[in-house]
Structure 1
Amino acid sequence: MDENTIFSPPPNINTQNQNPIVPPQPENLPTSPPPSIISKILKIILGVAVVLTIIFLIYNFVLPKFFPAKINKVTLTYWGLWEEASVFAPIIDGFEKEHPNIKINYSNQDIKEYRERLVTRSNNGNGPDVFRFHNTWVPQLTELLLPLPSNVITKEDFDKNYYPVAKKDLIKNGAIYGIPLHMDTLNLYINRNLFQASSLSAPTDWIQFGNYSRQLTVKDENNNIKTAGAAFGTYGNITHAPDIISMLFAQNGVNLDDISTNTQAVSDALSFYTSFALVPGNVWDNTLDSSIRAFASGSLAMYFGYSWDFFAIKSMNPDLSFDVFPVPSLPGRDVTVASYWAEGVLSRSTHQKEALLFIKYLTLKETEQRLFTEQSKKRNFGEPYARMELAESLKNSVAYPFVANAKLAISSYFVDGTYDNGLNSQMNNYLNIAIDSILEGTSPQSAAETLSQGATQVLRQYGQ
């Protein structure tokens, strides 16, 4: 090349017969599938989705119409007292319609040895899921009673709807152990004809009661009582004797949870009570028939009883004319005794959830009213309402006296008619001994001290 040449064209290279230069390709580069494969995959996925949707619709909406699914029913056993199954049938039917997976087997139990049977069966694993128990039995059944949760009833609702005595009896250490379906209090029954014949009205205090009972007592020439003024003063032949004496204790200021704190008041009440059976001014004695039979026969002017005595008296003597009034009282001491039953759930039930649903339904206001209606078809009236708000609806009913003073009622472990062979029976036994001993000559003070010691021993046995 000439050194004076600054630039010269490249040599003429013939590329006609040479292969084109191709840039190098990366190794193993994935290639996209042809569009036809993607389409096939989408169709498969869509088809599977359609099939699954059809299966879902058939299984959930078509098959159930022809082959209804079987519901696993839970059967609850409910132990009641006194009421026939026919009375509870409409109540149970209503519950089962709302809860088709729950069946209720109602069993009307015999009151005799009921508490013992309840405890034994429950401990053996074949007790009831829901059961009725007396208002004084909580200390004996603490291990068997399931505390009711707030979704069944709150403490505020209990306080609002039920009588103070129920709050005291059924709420322990903040836990609610039962809900009553009825309330009952001790009242004074008077023979209308005997009172009218003597131009007397029902006594309102104990002075009147004493005067009227002696005025109405009729004795023969041998000083035997032919017509008794009042069933008062003995124990064995007076129906509800422990309840009557409890009423006297309470009106005289005795603490019924611990009578040993005021033995003088106990002594005074025992002395007053037994004076009605001591000659020569006695109006009652141990030779007479039971007080409820005497009243039904027309040979007793005044009888202390509860609402259920109304039916017993009417069954013995449908033609007897009588009225029911509040018990006499000391000035400013308008106190009577309550004896009633509540419904509870067994703590060992294997169906607690369902049992709680049932007891919640049982204790609804509407259920209580329906139950009263069903009971009234069988007898003069149903069990007096447990709910305070329903008391006024009984105002023109013969049932009203038994709730009229319920707000003033107290409860007592000295109580008749529970047949518990436990706390009540043991307490009553000591009371029986006290009354009999006074009638046989023991001083009321000595009898009161012995009674207090025995009662304290029994209460301690049951953790009270």
Structure 2
Amino acid sequence: MPVGDGDGFFSKHSKLIKIGILLLAVLTILFIFISLIMPKFKNPKNELVTLTYWGLWEDQSVMAPVIAGFEKENPNIKINYLVQEPIEYRDKLSIRIPNGNGPDIFRFHNTWYPMFKNVLLPLPKETIERKEFEDNYYSVAQDDLIKNGAIYGIPLEIDTLVLFINTQIFDSASQDLGSEILAPITWQDFIDSSQALTKRNEEGAINIAGAAIGTFENVNHAPDILSLLFAQNGVDTNDIGVSGSESRVSDALRFYTNFALLENNVWDQTLENSTKAFSQGKLAMYFGYARDYSTIKSLSPNLSVKLIPVPQLLSEKKANIASYWAEGVSSKSLHQKEALLFMKYLAKPETQEEIHKEASKTKPFGKPYGNKNLADKLKGSEEFVFVEQASNAVSSPFVDETYDNGLNDKLNSHLKDVINSILSGESEESAAGTLFQGYSEVIQEYESGPESTDD
């Protein structure tokens, strides 16, 4: 074949070759655009995002209507609500969140900010503005959840320490005495009533205790009761070691332990757990929270119980103790925008009303509203006392039943040792000094430790 014929062939088909190369290039570019570039510009509203939400106490049935309402408004977001066991919950959060496999939204105790400030996301004003927070939530929540000007949580509830009284024991003792024993308003009333209500057997052992106070291990909420006494005696419960508080703390320790130490004691270390004793009708007065009412009623449905405010030292300057839980967003979440939308939904008053309504279907009553503007809705009910006290409430790291194996439990361990040392004969002044030292060590650990070091 002549050479010229070959050259003529390639020359003849060069246009087709060029078109093929061009088409291949166009297809390659189109493939790259569709597979790699276009997804970046895809409308995120069309992507399904699943948020993991760790809760405590509220069952799936309680939260289901709230979640369904949010998902209806935000069809691209699904909420995977998981109820956690309170035991070791704080440890689980502390491990899982920093490792990147924790929840997007989680419940935390109002005293846990020092342990979680590295992983709590500040809530932007689009979620809730500071004025809105201040207008809707109690001052104790503002103190606990607003740090350095930023809001870190939404409290769906508020709970305060109140006094439970067994009205049947009051009535029976009043008949025996020949005069009515009134529910206490002041601490002197409490002393008088608790002594009048205490019944002993022939050997002098207590059969019916006037009040569960004075010891530690067998008194539910002993740290909370002591916090109440500290607060009412002018001690800053979030900084008890401040200079000048020594005498106030030792006075509170003396007042508390005297209920078990004095000759006409109303409680002692031989008695069974106070919650059990109250539910069995062996205890006239018990300090507890809203959650305890459900527990006691489940143990003894027919028990005659009345809930009243705790005694006060000064009627013109009331002080109460709050222990409650809030919802927060993990700073490690990959879906912070969506999580913040859910937080905004949780902050709506209607959401708290829905949660309360659903919880009341299976319990004597739901958690008292965290939103202070909903308090009047509880007037006339047994649970009103919890919100009635909230406006004068402060928080304290000395509270029980957080099961944190951290700040609360370590401080309570020091408090237990101090109370037991006084019951064994040590002076209240010496015990207070020991408490200050233990308090300082624990607070320093969580202010400077790995869980609470600022980034």
Q: For residue 418 of structure 2, what is the amino acid of its counterpart?
A: A
Please name the residue that 2:332 is paired with: 348
CA root-mean-square deviation: 1.2
Match of 2:383 among 399, 402, 405: 399
Would you say 1:335 and 2:316 are equivalent positions? no
Asked whether the 8 Å contact 1:185–1:338 carries over to 2, the reply is yes
Please name the residue that 1:248 is paired with: 229
Asked whether the 8 Å contact 2:182–2:193 carries over to 1, the reply is no
Following superposition of structure 1 onto structure 2, how do residues 230-269 of structure 1 map, counting pairs within 5 Å? 230-260=211-241, 261=243, 262-269=245-252
Match of 1:322 among 305, 318, 332: 305
Q: Show CA shifts across 1:42-73 (max 9, x none).
A: xxxxxxxxxxxxxxxxxxxxxxxxxxx99420
Q: CA deviation at 1:311?
A: 0.5
Would you say 1:277 and 2:252 are equivalent positions? no
Match of 2:207 among 226, 230, 244: 226
Please name the residue that 1:85 is paired with: 60
Would you say 1:94 and 2:69 are equivalent positions? yes
Please name the residue that 1:12 is paired with: none
Following superposition of structure 1 onto structure 2, how do residues 15-414 of structure 1 map, counting pairs within 5 Å? 71-197=46-172, 198=174, 199-260=180-241, 261=243, 262-331=245-314, 332-414=316-398
Q: CA deviation at 1:144?
A: 1.0
Structure 2: how far apart are the matches of 1:434 and 1:296? 28
Q: For residue 210 of structure 2, what is the amino acid of its counterpart?
A: G
Q: Show CA shifts across 1:176-218 (max 9, x none).
A: 1101001010000000011122122210011110111111111
Q: CA deviation at 1:279?
A: 4.3
3-state SS of paired residue (1:313): helix
Q: For residue 255 of structure 2, what is the amino acid of its counterpart?
A: F
Structure 1: how far apart are the matches of 2:199 and 2:381? 33
Structure 2: how far apart are the matches of 1:315 and 1:398? 16
Which TM-score applies when normalising by structure 2? 0.86
Moved over 6 A (4+): none
Q: CA deviation at 1:399?
A: 1.2
Structure 2: how far apart are the matches of 1:263 and 1:334? 21
Structure 2: how far apart are the matches of 1:396 and 1:348? 44
Tell which deviates more after alignment, 127-136 or 196-205: 196-205
Asked whether the 8 Å contact 1:258–1:456 carries over to 2, the reply is no
Asked whether the 8 Å contact 1:229–1:284 carries over to 2, the reply is yes
Q: Which of the pair has more CA radius of gyration?
A: 1
3-state SS of paired residue (1:75): strand
Q: Show CA shifts across 1:306-334 (max 9, x none).
A: 00100000011001001000000112331
Q: For residue 244 of structure 1, what is the amino acid of its counterpart?
A: I
Please name the residue that 2:422 is paired with: 438
Q: Show CA shifts across 1:76-121 (max 9, x none).
A: 0000001111111111011101111001000000000000001111
Q: CA deviation at 1:458?
A: 1.0
Asked whether the 8 Å contact 1:296–1:316 carries over to 2, the reply is yes
3-state SS of paired residue (1:179): coil
Count, aligned residues: 396
Match of 2:402 among 399, 415, 418: 418
Q: Show CA shifts across 1:373-426 (max 9, x none).
A: 111111121110011110001001111011011000000000011000000011
Please name the residue that 2:32 is paired with: none
> Where in structure 2 are there 5+ consecutive unaligned residues?
1-43, 175-179, 449-455
Q: CA deviation at 1:75?
A: 0.4
Which TM-score applies when normalising by structure 1? 0.84
Q: Show CA shifts across 1:21-56 (max 9, x none).
A: xxxxxxxxxxxxxxxxxxxxxxxxxxxxxxxxxxxx
Identity %: 55
Q: For residue 168 of structure 1, what is the amino acid of its counterpart?
A: D
> Where in structure 1 are there 5+ consecutive unaligned residues?
1-68
